[in-house]
Structure 1
Amino acid sequence: FCYALSADDGTTFRTKVSSESENFVDLSSVACNGKAADRIHADGIHILINMNGYTKGARNEIFALRPAPIQAMWLGYPGTSGAPFMDYIITDAVTSPIELADQYSEKLAYMPNTFFVGDHRQMFPHLIERVILLDAKKSAQVLASPETADPPDNVSIVNATDLSPIIEKVEIKTIREVAVMTTIATSLTAIHPVISTEKVEVVKTIVELPTTQPVQAMITNGHVQTSVNGIVVQNGLATTQMNNKAATGEEAPKAIVVTTRQQYGLPEDAIVFCNFNQLYKIDPQTLTTWVNILKRVPNSVLWLLRFPTVGETNIVASAASYGLPAGRLVFSNVAAKEEHVRRGQLVDVCLDT
């Protein structure tokens, strides 16, 4: 059984869930929480999962009426409900360490590795592979001394489900590097996560152009696309304009998409930290920690969202009071789902709250 608390929004996501559920029940038109709970109880549900928690569209009052003998939190809200009517929270040892179990009103039901199930590989297949966009001069510098002139793989990026059209018409260079990858693993039997490191080979593919001027001009002038060696590439800021279903993640973009730091006013030579949470999640202690990080990394900026817009002024003023110039903070508007995920490629380090 799947119970919908929001009305049909016409997306392919809704259609997929409703068509593939054995029993799909739309409770959005049932305004009375008591009647909604009665319907769930009448269906004979043994375990009822709360996927909203304290987020937009939630109706926790239904759970308070105990329509099912066992009720659990999962996915949408990774914190405790603090409610006696929620029995379990489906989580993992990293998100909810066992030593903090007394901070939860629910019993911890651990999943191996992670509680979070994402569909990004299927939603955004064009982001699985990427190539770096460099002009011939910069490419030559990198290839001449790859040990010291590390190619910036998060400054100007090209993504597509099929990169062959552009790869076949431009000069392609490849650099192989060795990086250290840290893995955090959990299991149903281990109380604490196991942290391990291993060396992995990283392959950087460079699209070498005589000049990147057409791409820079496209972005500067706000054009939706341009031609690179006879291949049309799309401005990453124009996905909503060009294909709304691609922008929402309902289908993969058919275009070759260019994403650059220039589009968001990010310095090309800086270390970019980011946090794309809503601004109300940033408390003074968190902001102080971030400011201290930026102070220790001189050539760095912190990329945040205007989420909401009115919060930008307060964040800038608070950071200034801690000794951080306003120029070290970069704000961008909230973007559609595809752009939101794709532009994360421009970042060096993500900071959590």
Structure 2
Amino acid sequence: MSSISPHLALNQIMGPSHIVPASSRRLNIRLSLIIMDKRSKRLISEIEKALVSRPTKIPIKSIEKLLGKTQGSDRLHELLVGTKFALENNQAQTALLLSAISLTTFPENRDCWATFGYVIQIIAATPAVWSVLEKYLGKTQDPNLLIEFRHPIRLAGKQDLVKLLPIETVELNPILITLQVNVAQRESMELATKILEKGKIMLDSNSFSATTEGEFLYCYGEHLLSLGRHTDVIRLLKPFISDQKKIDQIPEDQQKPLRAVLSSAQSRLGDHLGALATSLTHSVSKLPMDESNAAFIYNIALIFSNLQLRETAAELYYLAFQMDKNDATTGFHALYQRSHLCNWEDRDNLKNACNSAIAHSFKQGTSRLRGARMLASCAFSATTMFDSLKLQSHLLERSAEAHSELPAQNQPPPIPRKTEKIKIAYLSADIYSHATAFLIAGLMESHDREKFDIYLFSYGINQADDSFRKRIRNAVGENFLEVSQWSDEQICASIRDEKIDITIDLKGFTQNGRPFLLYSRPAPLQINYLGYPASMGMPYIDYFVGDTYTLTNNNRKQFSERLITLPIFYQPPDSSRTLTESFDRSSHLDIAEDAIVLGAFNSIYKLTPKIYDIWLKLLSKHPKCILWLTDTSISGKSRLFKLATMAGIEPNRIIFAPFLDQEEHIGRLAHVDIFLDTYPCVGHTTATDALFQGIPIVTIAGETFASRVAASALHHIACSELIAESYDSYYQLLDEFINDKEKLEMISRKVKENVKKYQLFDTQRYTRVWEEALTGIFNQWKEGLSASDFFLKI
């Protein structure tokens, strides 16, 4: 076939563009200049074509013709030269297959290991290659193959190869145990936990390299993190990472994921400074601009975000996204944090890049649940920052991929109980003075205890003295469960033990949520309600709740869930809320008596340059108008003031409202003449706060559910004349009301009257409608009917 010069090193065979690891030894065969004959070239081309067209089949005949009857070192010579030629001529699958045959035929030759190790790092293996390796393992049960090539094995999802080894061999090697755990996680998280616990005992009883120990601990820590056992993660990893002698022996690329798992656990338990110390091992500014550093910078940005150090977090997220434009999560975080600061520099390009990134699958990594975590991390930003049904369809695609990563569940299907009461369990992290608590407090008090047993699983921070937490706890009574220290499995076990009929997730993909908590389906029916204004895209969530305005034929496709369509505004009201005494305007605003107050109390991140430009045009045209905004950071104020000055607006016409308790905040809304809504992320709870005071809201109705909430509230009190369909009509509506005092007074009276007339804040009425919907879907299930869209009529 060819001849090559004597004792030529392997990296010389590959040439300067194909350098292999320095550990490879010189070949013990005679080599001279390589001259490939036409027949050999043709056979290699045939092998490549066969592998491309039928990747599962090994082209045995062509390979036998290529190698002929050669044996021993001559056969090795032919395989290595064939590998080199295939690589140089872009016949990648042939190169990988020949190097696999070299390795499995001559396992005692270290050059074969080095060659295969090099090639499989740059080429994804076909089933034919895995077939060669599987056959070799079946014959030799050689553990070194799995240990040496564990990384490409994990990336290819071929951890099942570990089953070909004797169990006693696996249980004595930490690396093999991690592969065994990867396999077990697909079947049972409990089984995986037991394997890791046993492996840890073995690890502690023997001496292994720091690199091996670190790899095992990463696997164990990542597993515990996925179970929500954050305290156990810290106990496991902190001693090892704090041992400077050990950690210094570990390569940098292995240290980063270890630190990331520990810092994530610390951050989730509120130790943000500890998480920061864990992650900041090097100066970020010195890191090269490449993808390998993007994840590291992202983790540091996440910690700064948790510490509410938004300016730094925003720039770090932005830097990480510049390093890796395929990482949608980082891009959406950059957009979200910059929006909190009213930093709109490069906003259009950033939004376009985010749109492009989310259209593709999340990048695979060593973490089993990486896709699920990335989805949970960016879905809220993607939903609230865009009014795009196409983007929502991409989120559904990512959700389907994330769900495929979750381990299989073997729980038996729930059996209908013979009971008079339906057991309902609400789950949330926001049982304190938070928008969710403001909405559900009255509902919790109004549920019919003759027909329903109500439970509430609170897995957020326990703020025992918070007034709304006390109120909800008192309403739920002994069924209020403080579960912030419980793992997902423990919460689900409790749901099963209590024989809950319907679980209601109030968080979804929102901050501090546990969106995968219910994936084991602990209850027969599971609902996505109130907190996350979009589909979770998960088959274990049966229903999403909306109303006749937020849900349309056009946006139906943005939901994987069946829809519960209420005939009234879908948000639960609280008619028992009280207001503080309303003082005159001067107690809040130092303005002229005839000033027109334009109030905008949505979270500042919802403000966009297009909406703010409209507000500035209105201020410029109407000198008596004052803009009253939600308070924001110093840098955010500075940017808004700068834009106002450029538009010729005096800074004293823009006033920032400090944070107040809920009752005081709603009290001061009485001094607002018109409530300015934002878009595409419109007011939700803030919109109903304004309507509670009878303040007219001007909003834009978009396509997605999230962009139609404020308009829905207006629709359900027959005030659709306040709903705009575009930026232009939004400006025109506001301009008309500001221009025409009589028209403004008329719509203000109508809002006040219709809020009462259409019972927008009648908690008892809402609760009965809500309970009717829950009863309806539960009866369908009891009758053995599949879940379907449920449209309730008054």
TM tier, shorter chain? 0.5 to 0.7
Corresponding residue for residue 304 of structure 1:
629
Pairwise CA distance, 1:284? 2.1
TM-score, normalised by the number of residues in structure 1 = 0.55
Secondary structure at the aligned position of 2:504 is classed as: strand
Q: Distance in 2 between matches of 1:77 and 1:303?
A: 27
Of Structure 1 and Structure 2, which has the larger fraction of its residues in helix? 2
Pairwise CA distance, 1:324? 4.5
Q: Which has the higher contact order (CA 8 A, sep 6+)?
A: 1
Q: Distance in 2 between matches of 1:309 and 1:84?
A: 44
Corresponding residue for residue 35 of structure 1:
490
Residue of structure 1 aligned with 2:522, choices 67, 71, 78:
67
Q: Distance in 2 between matches of 1:59 and 1:19?
A: 24
Could you say which structure has the larger radius of gyration?
2
**Correspondence 1:341 to 2:666:** yes
Q: Name the Cα RMSD after superposition.
A: 2.8
Amino acid of the residue matched to residue 614 of structure 2?
A: T
1:172-191 equivalence runs, <5 A: none
Pairwise CA distance, 1:346? 0.4
Q: Distance in 1 between matches of 2:586 and 2:564?
A: 41
Q: Distance in 2 between matches of 1:331 and 1:319?
A: 14
Corresponding residue for residue 734 of structure 2:
none
Secondary structure at the aligned position of 1:301 is classed as: strand
Pairwise CA distance, 1:12? 4.6
**Correspondence 1:112 to 2:437:** no
Corresponding residue for residue 10 of structure 1:
465
**Residue 588 of structure 2 contacts residue 668 of structure 2 at CA under 8 Å; is this kept in 1?**
no
Pairwise CA distance, 1:64? 4.1
Pairwise CA distance, 1:332? 1.8
1:216-295 equivalence runs, <5 A: 258-295=583-620
Q: Distance in 2 between matches of 1:90 and 1:284?
A: 31
Secondary structure at the aligned position of 1:20 is classed as: helix
Cα–Cα, structure 1 residues 326 and 53, in superposed 2: closer, same or farther, change >3 Å?
Answer: farther
Q: Distance in 2 between matches of 1:265 and 1:96?
A: 42
Of Structure 1 and Structure 2, which has the larger fraction of its residues in strand? 1
Corresponding residue for residue 216 of structure 2:
none
Secondary structure at the aligned position of 2:583 is classed as: strand
Q: Distance in 1 between matches of 2:544 and 2:650?
A: 42
Cα–Cα, structure 1 residues 323 and 72, in superposed 2: closer, same or farther, change >3 Å?
Answer: farther
Amino acid of the residue matched to residue 29 of structure 1?
A: Q
The C-alpha deviation readout for 1:296-343, integer Å capped at 9, x for no partner, is 434212211114454222333344556654343211211111111100
Pairwise CA distance, 1:19? 3.6
Q: Distance in 1 between matches of 2:646 and 2:509?
A: 32
Q: Distance in 2 between matches of 1:81 and 1:267?
A: 48
Secondary structure at the aligned position of 1:62 is classed as: coil
Corresponding residue for residue 318 of structure 2:
none
Q: Distance in 1 between matches of 2:531 and 2:633?
A: 20
Q: Distance in 2 between matches of 1:325 and 1:108?
A: 48
TM-score, normalised by the number of residues in structure 2 = 0.26
The C-alpha deviation readout for 1:118-164, integer Å capped at 9, x for no partner, is 22x4221x56xxxxxxxxxxxxxxxxxxxxxxxxxxxxxxx4xxxxx
Q: Distance in 2 between matches of 1:327 and 1:39?
A: 56
**Residue 279 of structure 1 contacts residue 308 of structure 1 at CA under 8 Å; is this kept in 2?**
no
**Residue 620 of structure 2 contacts residue 647 of structure 2 at CA under 8 Å; is this kept in 1?**
no
Corresponding residue for residue 657 of structure 2:
332
Q: Distance in 1 between matches of 2:617 and 2:535?
A: 30
**Residue 37 of structure 1 contacts residue 67 of structure 1 at CA under 8 Å; is this kept in 2?**
yes
The C-alpha deviation readout for 1:143-190, integer Å capped at 9, x for no partner, is xxxxxxxxxxxxxxxx4xxxxxxxxxxxxxxxxxxxxxxxxxxxxxxx
Corresponding residue for residue 99 of structure 1:
554
- Stretches of structure 2 that go unaligned for 5 or more consecutive residues are 1-454, 679-794
Secondary structure at the aligned position of 1:291 is classed as: helix
**Residue 601 of structure 2 contacts residue 630 of structure 2 at CA under 8 Å; is this kept in 1?**
yes
Residue of structure 1 aligned with 2:481, choices 15, 25, 28:
25
Amino acid of the residue matched to residue 91 of structure 1?
A: G
**Residue 264 of structure 1 contacts residue 332 of structure 1 at CA under 8 Å; is this kept in 2?**
no
User: How many residue pairs get matched?
Assistant: 222
Q: Distance in 1 between matches of 2:642 and 2:573?
A: 36
Moved more, 323-332 or 274-283: 323-332
**Residue 456 of structure 2 contacts residue 476 of structure 2 at CA under 8 Å; is this kept in 1?**
yes
Amino acid of the residue matched to residue 475 of structure 2?
A: E
Cα–Cα, structure 1 residues 61 and 346, in superposed 2: closer, same or farther, change >3 Å?
Answer: same
